Amino acid sequence: MHRFSYAMPKSIDEAISLMEGHGEQARYVAGGTDILVRIKEKKVLPDFLISLRHIPGMAYIDYEEATGILRIGSMTTHRMLEKSPLIRERYPVLSDAADNIGSVQIRNVATLGGNIVNAVPSADGAIPLITLGAQIRMKGPKGEREMELVDFFIGPGQTLLEHGEVVLEFLVPKLRPLTGMAYFKHTRRAAMELPILGVAVLLSLEDDGITCSEARIGLGVLAPTPMRALNAERIMQGKRVNDGLLEKAGKMAAEECKARDSIRGEAWYRRAMVEVLVKRLGRLCRERAKK
């Protein structure tokens, strides 16, 4: 095993100053389930790991009734998301995804923040969040900042996170009434699998229960970064949500998705499955929205 030192700061500021003091050879570690594998495989060889686990108040799922804003701390584990009744009831798109990440052992330790920051194309934790229109908030040597999560990803393993910055939390804006949402991870087997693609759909209906007031479609794994199918979203707005419309949206999403050939799936197949899954999840969202 590659040798490194290990620090356990008690505050974010302490973590940031440790990182500044150690430069490029230092890495933050959240759950550690990804970086320890990469260290064992000698893909990264940091001299210094800075654990974020001992900073109080970084793991939480907090819904503010007054504003309707959901805040999820970056150190929240997938298991916490999976087990949260609030998430399962109000944000099932997040539990649909959390349920299927790794194994129980991994979900008990691995964090949402770690999943996002690693920005591995096969990591599907981001897809529900970009579909919810989440913002990411971080803090670094130059202070705090926020941005749309969808803009945070710039390539495989690449994000706009600057050296020394720590992700603090994810903010999910207030949902419209009559909103349904769902995520589907398309895999070859039932568990312990990295997906061929992941599709999330969110659908808000007008009071009539049939007209779409807003649609959002998040796609991932099939492209270098998670993405929204904006054209497909646009054609749904203001229309009656029936199978014909969902079919059109599926075709549109398949057309605009940046599907590529990779070890996990070929582009043509991924596009075909986007078409199918957008339609299928759209129907599920329509049902969930009415409840």
Partner 1 sequence: MKNRLSFTLNGDRVEVEVEAYWTLLHLLRNHFELTGTKEGCGKGECGACTVIVDGMAINACLYPAMELEGREVLTIEGLTDEEGGLHPLQKAFVEHGAVQCGFCTPGMVMSAKALLDENPKPSEEEIRTAIAGNFCRCTGYIHIIKAIKAASKGR
Which positions lie near partner 1, rule CB under 8 A? 1-6, 8, 29, 32-33, 36-37, 40, 49, 51, 53, 79, 102-106, 108-109, 190-192
Query: Closest separation between CB of residue 262 and partner 1, Å?
Result: 20
Secondary element (H or E) of residue 168: strand 166-172
Report the alpha-carbon distance of residue 116 to residue 114 in Å, rounded. Answer: 5
Rounded least distance, CB 267 to partner 1, Å: 27
Shortest Cβ 235–partner 1 spacing (Å) = 38
Q: How far is the CB of 121 from partner 1 (least distance, A)?
A: 19
DSSP H or E run through 227:
strand 227-228
Query: CA torsion 100→75→133→219, rounded to 10°?
Result: -30
Nearer to partner 1, 74 or 225 (CB): 74
Comparing CB distances to partner 1, the nearer of 8 and 161 is 8
Q: How many other C-beta atoms lie within 10 A of the C-beta of residue 105?
A: 10
Nearest distance from residue 193's CB to partner 1, in Å? 10
Nearest approach in angstroms of CB 49 to partner 1 is 8
* Cβ-based nearer residue to partner 1, 106 or 161: 106
Q: Which amino acid is at 24?
A: E
Q: How far is the CB of 273 from partner 1 (least distance, A)?
A: 23
Which residue type occupies 212?
Answer: C
Q: Which two tokens stand for residue 253?
A: 């999403």
Nearer to partner 1, 49 or 171 (CB): 49
- Output the six-digit token pair for 176: 């419209």
Those residues with Cβ within 8 angstroms of residue 17's Cβ, 6 or more apart along the chain or in another chain: none
Chain Cα centroid distance, residue 241: 26
Q: Which is nearer to partner 1, 32 or 224 (CB)?
A: 32
Torsion of CA 57, 46, 26, 24, to 10 degrees: -140
Strands 158-159, 153-155: pairing is: antiparallel
Between 88 and 239, CB nearer to partner 1: 88
Tokens of 212: 């779409």
| Nearest CB to partner 1, comparing residues 8 and 120 | 8
Q: Copy the structure tokens of residue 164.
A: 């020394």
Distance CA 92, CA 44 (A): 35
Dihedrals phi, psi of 167, to nearest 5 degrees: -75, 130
